[in-house]
Amino acid sequence: MVITRVTNGYRKPEGIDEMATALQPELKQDLVRYGARGVDLCFNCGNCTAVCPLSLDGTSFPRKLVRYAQLGLGEKLATAPEPWLCYYCGECSATCPREATPGETMAALRRYAIAQYDPSGIASLLYRFPWFLVAFTLLLGVVLGFFHLSIQVAKHTVDGVTFPAHWAAFNWIPYETIHMLGVFVGALMGILVLSGFANAARLMLKPHGGIRSLGKHKAGDFGQAFRRLGRELVTMRRQAECSDEGEGAEPWYLRARFAHGTIMGGFMLLLAATSLDFFFVFLLKMEFYGIARPLGIIGGIIMLYGLLVYTWKRMRKATPNTTVTTPADVWILFFLIVLDITGFALLLITMNQWQGVASDVILLVHSVMAMELVLLFSMTKIAHALYRPMALYFHFLKNPETTA
């Protein structure tokens, strides 16, 4: 159904603008699968917008977004940068008179937005059907297991020493084939990330009037917005305004901002360690681990710390933003913790040159997790590292005077 705003004397319903707007009556039901379960309860009082510490005149939320969801305005939701401006403190949910859980709706709308940015359609399956992720993981396990493990059924003798039958990794697939698989997966990830990023920019620019409206800004505005974004990413000031740092706060080392910082910092160190490893060992063919290994160990430890803090907070349901836990929340924490721990186990295995079924299974689990992380990077919750900075940039560009 398409309705067009009648201008003279007609007061437009909330969420309807000058453009023809497609209504999707089935959208509300679909959004439930993304985690927006309280949309119908909202009676549009605006309390959530009033209490939200990050909602401004120019970019008010979450009431507006809940209203879009009620009306089935899919395009409005897909193009709205506001879900990314919310840090999910849960304050709005805690004070909603109808218990309509607007904070959870904002989280669901971020998932919905990721599904709209993703050209492959995988993100949509991922969020709407939890079994899809299990099937995807198992499929990856089978494919990698095929490449990775083979059974030497017979005992064999090398230099007079008899070895028992055992699992052996990579001993029958040509090295070039494995290398090409890695290149293919890396290229696929690059394509998915770039196309998701481009789609997000195209959609988020729509409410701003599209690419052409960027011409309204002076050259200095772009630089200023960029500097504000840089400051924000370093200090995470908005998250501090919207988090567990108020009165009666937990100690600093248990706060969301610190835990988030350790996860991000650890992730960056692990990425740096992997890149150095690739550079020295793979490209230069040097057995040099002097920088990569300590970086990887430090990165793994601090990331594990942040993940355990987040897990503990969810288990305690101590703050408004941890009262609802979706399968996507469980999966991302479980996934990153397993990836981290198996990474440490592999380090021990390599340093001690342990062999056996257990070592190979750990290697397989770690490979499956790492491959999944690479392939689904732009579709999971981790994708907020791509889309939140983009939304913040447009927000700072559009609102140069705001402090939030």
Find out whether 224 and 393 touch, Cβ atoms under 8 Å. Answer: no
Residues 191-250 that bind ligand SF4 (CB under 6 A): 242
Write down the least CB distance from residue 395 to ligand SF4, Å.
Answer: 13
Residue 77 as a binder of ligand SF4 (CB under 6 A): the answer is no
Residue 66 as a binder of ligand SF4 (CB under 6 A): the answer is yes
CB neighbour burial string for 102-112, b if at least 16 within 10 angstroms, e if fewer: bbbbbbbbbbb
- The stretch among 50-58, 158-166, 216-224, 389-397 that binds ligand SF4 (CB under 6 A) is 50-58
Find out whether 308 and 316 touch, Cβ atoms under 8 Å. Answer: no
- The site for ligand SF4, by CB under 6 A, has a size of 29
Residue 100 as a binder of ligand SF4 (CB under 6 A): the answer is yes
> From CA 267, how far away is CA 273, in angstroms rounded?
10
- The stretch among 90-98, 113-121, 172-180, 304-312 that binds ligand SF4 (CB under 6 A) is 90-98
Tokens matching residue 223: 């630089």
Residue 392 as a binder of ligand SF4 (CB under 6 A): the answer is no
Residue 312 as a binder of ligand SF4 (CB under 6 A): the answer is no
* Among positions 16, 31, 80, 86, the unique one binding ligand SF4 when judged by CB under 6 A: 86
* DSSP reduced 3-state for 97: coil
> From CA 27, how far away is CA 45, in angstroms rounded?
22
DSSP secondary structure code for residue 401 in this structure? T
Distinct helix (H) and strand (E) counts, the chain: 17, 6
* Among positions 34, 61, 289, 310, the unique one binding ligand SF4 when judged by CB under 6 A: 61
Closest among 347, 345, 341, 338 to 373, alpha carbons compared? 338
Residue 84 as a binder of ligand SF4 (CB under 6 A): the answer is no
x-or-dash string of contact with ligand SF4, 5-44, rule CB under 6 A: -------------------------------------xxx
Q: How far is CA 301 from the centre of its chain?
A: 20
* Among positions 63, 255, 313, 314, the unique one binding ligand SF4 when judged by CB under 6 A: 63
Write down the least CB distance from residue 317 to ligand SF4, Å.
Answer: 16
Residue 90 as a binder of ligand SF4 (CB under 6 A): the answer is yes
Residue 113 as a binder of ligand SF4 (CB under 6 A): the answer is no
Write down the least CB distance from residue 173 to ligand SF4, Å.
Answer: 48
Angle between the 102-117 and 63-71 helix axes, to the nearest 10 degrees?
A: 60
> From CA 175, how far away is CA 181, in angstroms rounded?
10
* DSSP reduced 3-state for 270: helix
Name the site residues for ligand SF4 (rule: CB under 6 A).
Answer: 42-48, 52, 54-55, 61-63, 66, 86-92, 96-98, 100, 102-103, 106, 242
